[in-house]
């Protein structure tokens, strides 16, 4: 599914979830009424999700007019007006909550990602997302990670191989798992293996691994892994990483840092939409 398709599907589900067979409260208003409204940010954050926001309104009123003052990726101030909307009053009332839900969630993901990206600036490590996303909103949250300056891992189980602890156990070991992955992987599909100690790292390198996930290594272990690998593979740190320690992790010399908190621990950004 591409991003445009994901937006249409996300919005379809969100509107159906909220209004079902119809917005009973909006029927208090005449069907011919029209209105204007403004959306304001209530806190400083990175704006993200404008396409989802617009799609909610356009699904209900194709002729709605939305004028944005900022774009995805811009930093907004508390109290700053983000956009002006004019259209059918009923449609605006019905679309308001789902539209702002998308905006508050995706802006949150973009904002957190930006904080991590800024924290490691100059250290050379890329901030990566994971599959720890809100169900049904993976494409949306991965888009938000990119808006925040991070990078995307595989979209799902279908477009990349990540060999984890249970795969290694079931396959009979690191070498066996990698050998089988190389047989199965189509051209262009990445193969990454997770290791939990330096012995497994050595096995993975000996078996020709080119992308290795270092799971819950401390800073000293990360530095030793970087020294031992000596550029033979890209190394990714993961597990127990937060804003307080991400800089120290980046300075060990790893190439990538994956952080589930970008998408799974979302604290919504506050917005307000008011009619004029």
Q: Name the active-site residue from 97, 131, 223, 234.
A: 97
Q: Is 234 a catalytic residue?
A: no
Q: Which of 23, 96, 215, 236 is catalytic?
A: 215
The DSSP-derived string for 150-219 is -B---SSTTS-EEE-HHHHHHHTSHHHHHHHHHHHPPTT--EEEEESSHHHHHHHHHTT-SEEEEET--H
Active-site residue, selected from the candidate residues 164, 223, 234, 247: 164
Q: Assess whether 194 carries a catalytic annotation.
A: yes
96 is catalytic: no
Rounded CA separation 148/150 (Å): 6
Q: Which residues pair with 256 in a beta bridge?
A: 126, 236
Catalytic annotation on 164?
Answer: yes
* CB contact at 8 A, 64 and 22: no
**Other C-beta atoms within 10 Å of 212: how many?**
24
Question: What residues have CB less than 8 Å from 172, skipping those under 6 apart?
Answer: none
Please name the residues in contact with 88: beta carbons below 8 A apart, sequence gap of 6 or more.
31, 33, 34, 35, 60, 61, 63, 64
Q: Which two tokens stand for residue 36?
A: 């204007």
Set 8, 42, 131, 132: catalytic member: 132
7 close to 34: Cβ distance less than 8 angstroms: no
Please pick, among 54, 61, 194, 203, the residue that the annotation labels catalytic. Answer: 194
User: Residue 236 is inside which H or E element, if any?
Assistant: strand 234-238
The whole-angstrom separation of Cα 145 and Cα 106 is 9
Q: Is 121 a catalytic residue?
A: no
Active site residues: 97, 132, 164, 194, 215
């Amino acid at each position: 599914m591409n991003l445009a398709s994901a937006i249409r599907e996300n919005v379809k589900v969100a509107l159906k979830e909220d209004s079902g067979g119809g917005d009973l409260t909006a029927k208090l208003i005449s069907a011919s009424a029209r209105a204007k409204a403004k959306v304001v940010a209530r806190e400083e954050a990175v704006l993200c999700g404008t396409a989802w926001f617009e799609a909610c309104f356009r699904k209900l009123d194709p002729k709605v007019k939305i004028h944005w003052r900022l774009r995805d990726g811009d930093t907004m101030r508390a109290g700053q007006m983000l956009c002006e909307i004019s259209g059918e009053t009923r449609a605006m009332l019905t679309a308001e909550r789902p539209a702002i839900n998308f905006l508050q969630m995706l802006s949150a993901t973009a904002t957190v990602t930006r904080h991590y990206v800024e924290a490691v600036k100059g250290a050379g490590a890329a901030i990566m997302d994971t599959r720890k996303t809100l169900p049904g909103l993976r494409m949306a949250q991965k888009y938000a990670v990119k808006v925040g300056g991070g990078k995307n891992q595989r979209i799902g189980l279908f477009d990349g191989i990540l060999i984890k602890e249970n795969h290694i156990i079931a396959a009979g070991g690191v070498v066996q798992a990698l050998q089988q992955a190389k047989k199965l992987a189509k051209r262009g599909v990445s193969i990454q293996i997770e290791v939990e100690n330096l012995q497994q790292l050595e096995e993975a390198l000996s078996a020709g691994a080119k992308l290795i996930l270092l799971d819950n290594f401390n800073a000293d272990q990360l530095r030793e892994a970087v020294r031992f690998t000596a550029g033979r593979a890209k190394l990714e740190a993961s597990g127990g990483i937060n804003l307080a320690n991400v800089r120290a992790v980046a300075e060990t010399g790893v190439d990538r840092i994956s952080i589930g908190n970008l998408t799974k621990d979302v604290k919504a950004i506050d917005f307000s939409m008011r009619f004029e």
